Amino acid sequence: MSEPLIRLRGVTKVYGEGATALQALKGVDLDVRPGDFVAIMGPSGSGKSTAMNMLGCLDTPTSGAYLFQGMHVESLTRDQRARLRRRFFGFVFQGFNLLARTSAQENVELPLLYRGESAAARHAAAAKALASVGLAGWEHHTPAELSGGQQQRVAIARAIVTEPAVLLADEPTGNLDTQRSREIMELLWRLNVEHGITVLMVTHEADMAAYAKRIVHFVDGVVANDMLNPHPAGLHETPTVAAPLTAPGTEVH
């Protein structure tokens, strides 16, 4: 069995001091191996979002250890964590977080722009990422010209354009209807299975968590349950998301 890509040991997180202190995490142990697809679930205030911020190097533990490829992340400086994020992590959010007046192509190119990649390299990589999520031909459309499902595909293309080792998805289907949610989950499933991207996803929807290989439940700042899912939903889905969507200019619901 491969060594963990990510390892949390005794991780705590406390916000505030004294009587107003809030302990969001109370000693979390968690291993994530390369190629895992982990759904993180739990009620509001359970610590799942705090744990996700920790895993994505957006926050640091109050105590405990976070190891990424054997490196102690909790010991890194802010700039070092930022470089780690840019190199190894991609992020997908519930609200898409696309620039409104910017084309799909330009939105996807943003992470490469921050890396200092050439224009030619950015264009080629963004076109490839958009094609991989079924949006070939939609490169010059702005978010206002795209459906919610298409906007989330653009957001996923932006997250994978840097070829990250880990994709962190925070309620990626929260703003979508049932059919679009299934399409997005199948897409994430295929990125995991066919491209080997490790996926960590926060969700409150059991039918979305069913696509994951593991389901981790947080309760009151600790991991209450960590179980394997022997039959991920994606195994039984018809492969539809790899195909391009309706041609631009045609009505899309």
The answer to whether position 5 is within a domain reads no
Q: How many domains does the chain have?
A: 1
Note the pLDDT tens digit of each residue in 20-29. Answer: 999 999 999 9
The pLDDT value recorded for residue 114 is 85
The pLDDT value recorded for residue 101 is 92
The answer to whether position 251 is within a domain reads no
The pLDDT value recorded for residue 19 is 87
- CATH number of the domain residue 43 falls in: 3.40.50.300
Residues of the chain with pLDDT under 70: 1, 235-253
The pLDDT value recorded for residue 235 is 62
Share of the chain above pLDDT 90, in %: 83
Name residues whose C-beta falls within 8 Å of residue 74's C-beta, 6 or more positions apart in sequence.
60, 61, 64, 65, 66
Q: Show the domain range for 220.
A: 34-60+79-236
Query: In whole angstroms, what is the distance from residue 100 CA to residue 102 CA?
Result: 6
The answer to whether position 122 is within a domain reads yes
The answer to whether position 24 is within a domain reads no
Query: In whole angstroms, what is the distance from residue 137 CA to residue 171 CA?
Result: 27
Helix (H, G, I), strand (E, B) or coil at 58: coil
The answer to whether position 88 is within a domain reads yes
DSSP secondary structure letter of residue 3: P
Note the pLDDT tens digit of each residue in 53-80. Answer: 999 999 999 999 999 999 999 999 999 9
The answer to whether position 241 is within a domain reads no
The answer to whether position 43 is within a domain reads yes
